[in-house]
Amino acid sequence: MYFPCKFNEIYVCFEKLANLGNYFRIVSDMTIIPKIYNRLTASLNKQKLFAVLIDPDKQTNDGLSLLIESSNKCEVDFFLLGGSLISTALDKIIDTIRQNSSIPVILFPGSLLQISEKADAILLLSLISGRNPDFLIGHQVIAAPLLKRSRLEVLPTGYILIDGGKMSSVEYISNTKPIPSDKVDIVVATAIAGEMLGKKLIYLEAGSGAIKPVSAQIISKVKENISAPLIAGGGLTTASQIKKICMAGADIIVVGTAIEHDINRLKEFSDIIHRH
Ligand code: 1GP
């Protein structure tokens, strides 16, 4: 349609504005500022980060309040929320954390049932030590449309299960074998493959309540070979174990069971991790 000159200019102007509007809408729909990931990478090589694992099924109301209060005091960096098998609603726990703390909450899901939009971020775990397609890509495909619509920051994570001296819940539920703890080269190759496949974090897991945590040797070899932030956890119960894995190169240290048993360890662990 032809308009006299002025109308044409105005029309072009409106068209440009409309396109700009679409552009911003697209950008705002698709872009979630990677706040948590930025925080993880910003502290790489400067300070280690301490993440406390909260298994919702193991928390009483009083226990949770005390854990939050102590975590605030001890400058815990993140809460990881999840477990291999849980039956407690996550929303309520996250509400309680939000009301009493500004520590970010990252979902650490054992299954598709453990997604809550109230968290800050989610570890999108791919169990790359295993060969069960459901835990490599199947569950992720089912969750992907929901995660894309949500405001959760998605953190693609290569999750590597290493033998911790007893059968872990992860091993049983995922129906995958852990990598034997003396097969350092296999762990390293798995971590490299995970990073090459685009995982933004590598998580070395011995399993909750492991008898043997991931060894310092494994951690240092993996660290030498990847540049993504390295998370380690499972079976860490003493200050000397935590010191060792910090010195070996873990960037983010996760502790759950030891703190469930004795909340007073929180300060000691936090001091060691933040001092490195
Ligand atoms: C995090 O699953 C672990 O990697 C937590 O293990 O409960 O043994 O600390 P713990």
Q: Does 53 contact ligand 1 (Cβ within 6 A)?
A: yes
Q: Does 83 contact ligand 1 (Cβ within 6 A)?
A: no
- Ligand 1 pocket test, candidate residues 76, 78, 257, 263, most atoms within 8 A of CB: 257
- Tell how strand 78-81 and strand 201-205 pair up: unpaired
Per-residue confidence (pLDDT) for residue 21, from 0 to 100: 39
Span 176-202, mean pLDDT? 98
Q: How confident is the model at residue 27 (pLDDT cuts 50, 70, 90)?
A: very low
Per-domain residue ranges for the chain?
1-31, 34-275
Lowest mean pLDDT among 5-19, 74-88, 188-202: 5-19
Point out the ligand 1 atom lying closest to the alpha carbon of residue 234: 6
Q: Which among 199, 153, 148 has a CA at the least distance from the CA of 33? A: 153
Q: Does 209 contact ligand 1 (Cβ within 6 A)?
A: yes
pLDDT in tens, 218-252: 999 999 999 999 999 999 999 999 999 999 999 99
Per DSSP, the three-state class of 176 is: coil
pLDDT in tens, 137-173: 999 999 999 999 999 999 999 999 999 999 999 999 9
**9, 233 Cβ separation under 8 angstroms:** no
Distances in whole angstroms, Cα of residue 218 to Cα of each of 146, 168, 183, 214: 35, 19, 9, 7
CATH 3.40.50.150 fits 34-275, yes or no: no
Residue type, 19: N
| Statement: the pTM of the whole predicted model exceeds 0.85 | yes
Span 203-232, mean pLDDT? 98
Per-residue confidence (pLDDT) for residue 33, from 0 to 100: 82
Whether 38 has a pLDDT exceeding 80, the answer reads: yes
**In angstroms, what is the span from residue 52 Cα to ligand 1's centroid?**
9
Q: Does 205 contact ligand 1 (Cβ within 6 A)?
A: yes
pLDDT in tens, 119-132: 999 999 999 999 99
